[in-house]
Amino acid sequence: MSEGYYLGFIDNRNLLYLVAVTASCTFFMTIPQYWLQLWTELGGSNTRFYVLGFLSMSAISWASTSTQMW
């Protein structure tokens, strides 16, 4: 059978939702690495800002992963 058969059972809204959550998860799993690199290149100044940013992005990544599995 072709893939079109299976894709016919997926609502376009659900497919868009899956793509958006997957993109969000991927984005927020990658960006914290660059965020940490930026912070260390600046000499570790403004610690509270960077730690809260890192924690926020990590939480969003975790939430996206959990939503994707749900």
Q: Does 1 have pLDDT greater than 60?
A: no
Q: pLDDT class for 2, splitting at 50, 70, 90? A: low
Residues sharing a CB contact under 8 Å with residue 22, sequence separation 6 or more, in sequence order:
68
pLDDT value at residue 55: 93
Locate 69 and state its tokens.
């599995």
Of the candidates 64, 62, 56, the residue with the CA atom closest to the CA atom of residue 22? 64
pLDDT value at residue 67: 79
CA 63 to CA 69: how far, in whole Å? Answer: 10
- In what helix (H) or strand (E) does residue 30 lie, and over which residues does it extend? helix 12-41
pTM above 0.85, yes or no: no
pLDDT in tens, 5-63: 777 777 888 888 888 888 988 898 899 999 989 999 988 788 999 999 999 999 998 88
